[in-house]
Each structure stands twice: as C-alpha cells, then as structure tokens.
Amino acid sequence: MDNMKLIGDLLHSHGLKKTPIRTEVLELFMDHDFALSASDIVAKMTAGHDRVTIYRALSSFEEHGILHRASEDGQGTKYALCGHKCPDEQHTDKHAHFVCDECHQTYCLEDVQVPEVEVSSEFTVERTSFVLGGICRQCQQ
C-alpha cells in the first residue's frame, strides 16, 4: 500500500494539512468502488469522530477537486474520488452515476459520458448531472 504516500501528496498539493481523519477518509474512498456519503463514512471510521468534521472534510475535498458529488438521492449526498479515469482537472460531472434502489450504493459509470445538450438561452448551464437508477448486480438475486 503506497496509498499513504499518495494521500500525503494529494493533501499537500492542495494546501491541506495531513490529519489522521482526512487520511482515513481518503483511504476509505480508495478502498471502495462506489460513492460514499457523510454518514457512510462516519459509520466506517474506526474511531467515533464527529459528523461535523466529516462534513467539513468532504466540503473541503470537493472545493479542492479531490472528490466530486456523485448523486443526491434521498439518502444524502454521495461523493466519489476524482480518480484513475477522471482527468486531473475538471473531473466534475463528466461521467454518469448509477444509484441502486436496493442498497442505495452509488457507482461511477466512468465510460458513460454525460451528454452535451443545447438548452434555451434562458438558462446558463454550469453543471450537469446524469444519474441512472435501478438495481445493481449484487442486489439482483
């Protein structure tokens, strides 16, 4: 695992201090192939850290382009790492996401591009979110 080094670099390169909590949060994201919400993280963290701290870590990561918002279903906002297949910059909203109705997990569909569309000049589009819903393989049976 050289995740440790990676995480250190990631935080440092964005001018964020490397704290145990932030490190553990980023490790969680690296260890999962689906998006996580603040409460998912609180539940998975070893020590019982305050919800507020997790919310603040997530916002901060989002602002710095380390995480992107993957979906906002009824179970709260889920975030995903701007990772492997994401370009280093402008990772937001480039791919679609899939939310399972059964387990409520959110997956990045990194090969499904968010389509570019023409919209009435009445609206200035700054973000696009393309979220599919249904059942994932695990919940299929």
Q: Which residues bind a copy of itself (CB under 8 A)?
A: 72-74, 77, 96, 98, 100-101, 107, 109, 111-112, 115, 117-120, 122-137, 140
Task: Give the three-state DSSP class for 53.
Answer: helix
Query: Which of positions 46-65 make contact with DNA (CB under 7 A)?
Result: 49-53, 55-57, 59-60
**Shortest separation between residue 69's beta carbon and DNA, angstroms:** 9
Closer to DNA by Cβ: residue 22 or 94: 22
Task: Give the three-state DSSP class for 98.
Answer: strand
Kindly give the interhelix angle for 3-13 and 20-31, rounded to the nearest 10 degrees: 120
**Shortest separation between residue 92's beta carbon and a copy of itself, angstroms:** 11
Q: Which of 27, 62, 72, 93 binds DNA (CB under 7 A)?
A: 72
Among residues 98, 94, 64, 95, which one has the least CA distance to residue 78?
98
Q: What is the C-alpha separation between 49 and 138, in angstroms, rounded? A: 30
